[in-house]
Amino acid sequence: MTASKIQDAQPIDTLIVGAGFAGMYMLHKLRELGIGAQVVEAGSGVGGTWYWNRYPGARVDIQSLEYSFGFDAALEAEWHWSERYAPQPELLRYADHVADRFDLKRDIQFNTRITSAHWDNTEGRWLVGSEADEFWACRYLILATGCLSVPTDVTFPGIETFPRPIYRTSRWPREGVDFSGQRVGIIGTGSSAIQSIPIIAEQAVHLTVFQRTPNYSMPAHNGSIPDEDIHARASDPRGYRAASKDTPGGFQNFGNTALATQTSPDEIRAELERRWAWGGFRILGAFADTAIAPAANRIVHDFIAEKIREQVADPAVAELLTPKDHPFGTKRPCVDTGYYATFNRPNVELIDLKSDPLVAFNAGGITTAKRQHDFDAIVLATGFDAMTGAIDRIDLRGVGGRKIKDHWAEGPRTYLGLMVAGFPNMFTITGPGSPSVLTNMINSIEQHVEWIAECLASLAKRQHASIEASAEAETAWCRHVMEAVTPTMMPQANSWYMGANVPGKPRMFMPYAGGLHTYTEICRQVAAKGYEGFVIRNGDSVLSESHDFTSHPPMPDIPEALMPIIIERLMAAGLMPAA
Ligand code: NA7
């Protein structure tokens, strides 16, 4: 950065990057504390995920009563969701409502993409630059850049020769797309595709779905919100919210403590049917051993495979739609409205890319090994460079000019998913190493924002000291993130949780699998111990210094029957000494 740019930089206490739910609440919270803050946002409006992902059928897959802010009782009471799982336009209206209600937009600069951020150790500040060469000098930098905000760079041979529109689900045109009378191809069968396929199939004259890997999908059973749920929240909003947050996933999923491997077939069937009928993610909590014991996982797999066969008329198509390469829950499961039944329509065709690989795009459409498919439009629902993508794309340099890309060369390293050693005064909201994408994001965002705000308030009391994660605590946290996931089967899947969907990306399980409730308690203890694992300085003087991370959570109540398998996996991963 040149001296003139540094001179022209706009001074601000805190720069927040991103105006999704995380950036908005962070701004609101800092204003309450009297800490100066400015938000910069690449889009032209607030809403983050819900601003960008405007594809047909996009909707939240956690119930809206829980996937909404709980920090303000009046906001909570005045907003009424129209459905159990709100659609994207309604979520965007909600984001706008929050922004207007708290008068946030006056401190949000839209259409501004941050491309660089360099720590200036002499002045103790970040110098942050935009694509348009605008600069800010800030004491604190908060990256509220989202976990699924950068689409993968996936491309296909000959893609430039297809002369008609190619749409990405995550960059959908604002004015929408009318596929009436068109032959449409869609690549991908993740959540975005599974939500959009039923709607596109209703419009298009013909829809071809190119599937590389089938996913597990559960019915949303969307509709109006049951009166008893509305009443439960209205009669005790704080208790309802607390019950949501005091769970592994940040939403009320009524996890069963029974083991599938120790339950009778009739009881298993009853439990699974009850949860399937309720809909959404509830089946994830059916038994305590589903994520750990292969036999238990297989029981749930077989149940879902049977449900797929019930919904899909052609047994060969049902077989192709049934997951085979990963245990249930090891990739993010999907929640759908009519996905499987869509394959019974005469205008919908499934191409299995495993047996009929995609060769190239061309002027007509797409050629696979077996034949040519002609299209008027093609949709790419091919996913995101998850969790690290948005941060990686900033030329981000910490103490001594160390690049975040180098620091994260073997996978993202953080302390608590909140800070990175060697990058002082820089916070990530729902960063890698935090529960984030394994949870209800809004509850995770609230927890992070409140922790960061309390931390900044405590620093302000000490004349704006700087805070930095210690290298030792970061290492200890990375190990704990591994300890939390290793007993489960999650690392077995080629998921975006593992960075496996981006060629060349280091394989590492990125979110913290210990649960939001456990994580919240760890963060509370860390702060209560005077920011354990952090070094707090004022200029050259060290105000407090801790290099340890001892705030380990109590081990959750693990059923005795699962201990041998857990110990075996921890030993195999070198996380427990061999007996
Ligand atoms: P996902 O879940 O990452 O899905 C992407 C899909 O695209 C998935 O089926 C991929 O198959 C497929 N894909 C990716 N690249 C290719 C290529 N080159 N050829 C064929 N198929 C490909 O992204 P979504 O946007 O659907 O969902 C992301 C999250 O948003 C979701 O989990 C929710 O949290 C909300 P693959 O499985 O890699 O074989």
Tell which residue, 492, 515, 552, 332, has the closest CA to residue 434: 515
Q: Determine if ligand 1 sits within 6 Å of the CB of residue 359.
A: no
Query: Shortest CA distance to 458 belongs to which of 553, 534, 398?
Result: 534
Distance CA 374, CA 483 (A): 49
Q: Is the pLDDT of residue 449 over 70?
A: yes
Q: How confident is the model at residue 462 (pLDDT cuts 50, 70, 90)?
A: confident
Reported as a single tens digit per residue, the pLDDT across 30-87 is 999 999 999 999 999 999 999 999 999 999 999 999 999 999 999 999 999 999 999 9
Give percent above pLDDT 70 in the chain. 98
pLDDT at 334: 98
Residue 332, ligand 1, Cβ within 6 A? yes
- Quote the pLDDT of residue 556: 65
Contact between residue 149 and residue 158 where contact means Cβ atoms under 8 Å apart: no
Q: What is the pLDDT of residues 253-281, one digit of tens each?
A: 999 999 999 999 999 999 999 999 999 99
Assign 193 to helix, strand or coil. Answer: helix
Residue 466: closest CA among 16, 107, 6, 13: 13
Question: What does pLDDT average to over the chain?
Answer: 96
Averaged pLDDT for residues 308-322: 98
pLDDT value at 1 more than 80: no
Residue 195 Cβ contacting ligand 1 at under 6 Å:
no
Task: Write down the pLDDT at residue 554.
Answer: 67
Asked whether 159 lines ligand 1 (CB < 6 A), one says no
420 CA distance to ligand 1 middle (Å): 28
With beta carbons less than 8 A apart as the criterion, state whether 42 and 170 touch.
Answer: no
For the stretch 482-520, pLDDT in tens is: 999 999 999 999 999 999 999 999 999 999 999 999 999
Determine if ligand 1 sits within 6 Å of the CB of residue 188: yes
Closest residue by Cα to atom 18, ligand 1, is: 154
What is the C-alpha to C-alpha distance for residues 243 and 230, in angstroms, rounded to an integer? 15
User: What's the Cα-to-Cα distance from 248 to each of 243, 430, 455, rounded to whole Å?
Assistant: 11, 15, 24
Residue 325 has a pLDDT of 95
Residue 503 Cα to ligand 1 midpoint, Å, equals 13
Q: pLDDT-derived band of residue 552, with 50, 70 and 90 as boundaries?
A: confident
Q: Name the band, by pLDDT with cuts 50, 70 and 90, for residue 2.
A: low
The reported pLDDT for the residue numbered 558 is: 80
Mutate to test the pocket of ligand 1, among 335, 359, 501, 510 (most ligand atoms within 8 A of CB): 501
* Element of type H or E holding 272: helix 265-278
